Amino acid sequence: MTDHTMRIERDGALARLVFSQAERGNPINAEFCGAFLDAANTISEDPSIRAVLIVAEGKNFSFGGDIATFTGELDRLPMMIKRWTAALHVGIARFARMDAPVVVAVQGMSAGGMNGLVAGADYVVGSATSRYLAAYAGIAFCADAGTSIMLSRRMGIARAKRFLLMNELLDADAAFSAGLVDEVAAPEDYLARAEAVARQLAEGPTRAFGEIRRLFLSVEDQPLETQLELEALALARCAGTADAHEGITAFAEKRKPVFKGE
């Protein structure tokens, strides 16, 4: 898939989703939202993809919503938001529920809804010079793109609410301390480090990863007995996979397993 806002690059079992509007700061607009849903559909339907690395071209990851588009459409803005989020939010949900883990590499500024995208990833590597701006309250907006739920899962509800209410700007170390970022790397190393993590995940038991990812989607809103049953059913599905058989055999033979994502 190729689009002027983003493209998918394949490298074996690894798929890179590259945001490609560097000159505009990779804004979220109608074109971006539609392309993001297309990317989610393409990636989630390809069983040969075993990990996803999301990166952005340019000095900044993303300035968030395309405010330049807003200014000429103030009367139509509510309808625009509904149309944009209809695509963006379905794409986010499909990325969250697929088997392949998602790694994000962040440089420069990440603002507004892009922080929801970042927080929803399984592993986030931030450049030491990266910054994370809440942004919404600055234009009297609230939240979209999963920021309320994804930031809460990473930072805790009270901390995430403070981030949004106070329109905070976090540097890389503060984002790491808050749990938004999993790892901070030097500007010259952050991308290579993120790719190394993604490649490690791409060599793992992909279907087991999918079960883990989906179990954590329900961990905060299901009663204990329900979550226990979800775990039991997920584990039973894993037990029937070729990778599980390989893992058990490799353990018995005292060798490193070779997983195929099957």
Candidates 82, 143, 68; CA nearest to 111 is: 143
The whole-angstrom separation of Cα 45 and Cα 103 is 18
Q: Which residue has the tokens 């690059």?
A: 9
pLDDT of res. 2: 59
For the stretch 81-93, pLDDT in tens is 999 999 999 999 9
Task: Give yes or no for a contact between 204 and 50, defined as CB atoms under 8 angstroms apart.
Answer: yes
Residue 175 scores a pLDDT above 70: yes
- For 221-257, how does the pLDDT look when each residue is reduced to its tens digit (9 = 90+)? 999 999 999 999 999 999 999 999 999 999 999 999 9
**What 3-state DSSP class applies to 209?**
helix
For 194-204, what is each residue's pLDDT tens digit?
999 999 999 99
pLDDT, tens digit, 9 for 90 and up, residues 21-66: 999 999 999 999 999 999 999 999 999 999 999 999 999 999 999 9
Is the C-alpha dihedral spanning 218, 222, 225, 229 positive or negative? negative
Task: Answer whether 0.85 is exceeded by the pTM.
Answer: yes
What is the Cα–Cα distance from 206 to 113, expressed in whole angstroms? 28
Pairing of strands 6-11, 14-19: antiparallel
Strand, coil or helix: 183: strand
Average pLDDT of the residues of the chain: 96
**169-171 sheet: strands from edge to edge:** 109-111, 131-133, 169-171
How many other CB atoms are there within 10 angstroms of residue 234's CB atom? Answer: 17
pLDDT for position 71: 84
**Amino acid identity of 65?**
G
Q: Which residues contact 21 (CB under 8 A, 6 or more apart)?
A: 4, 5, 27, 32, 57, 58
CA gap 91, 99 in Å, rounded = 14
**Phi-psi category of residue 224: left, alpha or beta, with phi > 0 → left and psi -120 to 50 → alpha:** alpha
